[in-house]
Amino acid sequence: METNLLEIKKLNVSFSGFHAVSDVDLNVKEGEIHVVIGPNGAGKSTLMDLLTGQTKPTSGQVLFEGNNITGKEPGIIASKYHIGRKFQGPNVFDNMTVYENVEIALKGYTTILKALTYKRTKDKKDKIKEILEAIQLFDKKDMMASELSHGQRQWLEIGMVMAQSPKLIILDEPVAGMTDVETYKTGEMVKQLAGEHTMIVIEHDMEFVEQIAQTVTVLHQGKVLAEGTFEEIKNNPKVIQVYLQDENGEGY
Ligand SMILES: Nc1ncnc2c1ncn2[C@@H]1O[C@H](COP(=O)(O)OP(=O)(O)OP(=O)(O)O)[C@@H](O)[C@H]1O
Ligand SMILES: [Mg+2]
């Protein structure tokens, strides 16, 4: 039987009367890749803020492995419940190598000084190597992060999230600005991560969504408009109308 790792129940947040997230119910199954799509301003990133503690909900519940994590602090959600997140903006240390970036993430951002002086034990080295291979940057490990391409920097960030051994990984628009080749590679990377990790991915790139999604939830004006497989979502008239239709009225 498939179990839910994450259950969101009737979650709400409003900012001075504006309902950014409105009565959202969403379940994420253990090991799946769950994609959240929807127009700009639909509330996708805000919903993730509510999961990872950056924003406190006005009402509703977030259950993770059956634990009520509603309104807990971001540090607790990350370290005690093991929910990792890659934000929309860049978060790598430019003046360090690729290897050092992963190494620091492994030790935790809070103790950067300690991380720089700790011994590279075999276990740690193996773990770093495993991550660098998964994000296809092992051969670039001694390069400065600043020398990486945009796509490679995004992968490094995914690696830095992986270093925290999260059960749930949240990626907010991971392929924005990537080339088609990089986008495809990212999709394969995400599929490899799933299973061991459960994934929530926010994206606008529908080809990428088709490549990776097991379940798709569509948000519109803070509410869940539809949920289903990619095929179901792609053919849903409501979704086509608010999101997938181009200027000629053609769907994806
Ligand atoms: N802290 C805040 N205070 C006030 N309004 C906010 C706050 N955070 C988000 N909003 C508003 O909530 C709405 C949803 O924003 P959100 O960033 O979640 O959208 P999104 O679906 O992630 O869009 P995009 O695809 O453009 O990233 C927007 O209208 C935004 O302006
Ligand atoms: Mg967003």
Per residue of the chain (252 residues), what is the pLDDT tens digit?
A: 578 999 999 999 999 999 999 999 999 999 999 999 999 999 999 999 999 999 999 999 999 999 999 999 999 999 899 999 987 666 899 999 999 999 988 876 445 555 555 556 677 889 999 999 999 999 999 999 999 999 999 999 999 999 988 999 999 999 999 999 999 999 999 999 997 899 999 999 999 999 999 999 999 999 999 999 999 999 999 999 998 887 776 777
Position 118: which residue type?
Answer: Y
Alpha-carbon distance of 77 to 65, in angstroms, equals 12
Centre of ligand 2 to C-alpha 47, Å, is: 9
| Ligand 1 atom 5, closest CA | 15
**Phi, psi values for residue 94, rounded to 5°:** -65, -35
First-to-final CA distance of the chain? 33
Alpha-carbon distance of 76 to 65, in angstroms, equals 15
Centre of ligand 2 to C-alpha 41, Å, is: 7
The class of domain 1-82+166-252 in CATH terms is: alpha beta
| pTM for this entry | 0.91
Exposure pattern of 148-162 as b/e (b: 16+ CB <10 Å)?
beebbbbbbbbbbbb
Per-domain boundaries in the chain: 1-82+166-252, 91-164
Nearest residue to 43 via CA among 31, 29, 26, 67: 26
| Ligand 1 atom 19, closest CA | 41
Q: Give the model's pLDDT for residue 165.
A: 86
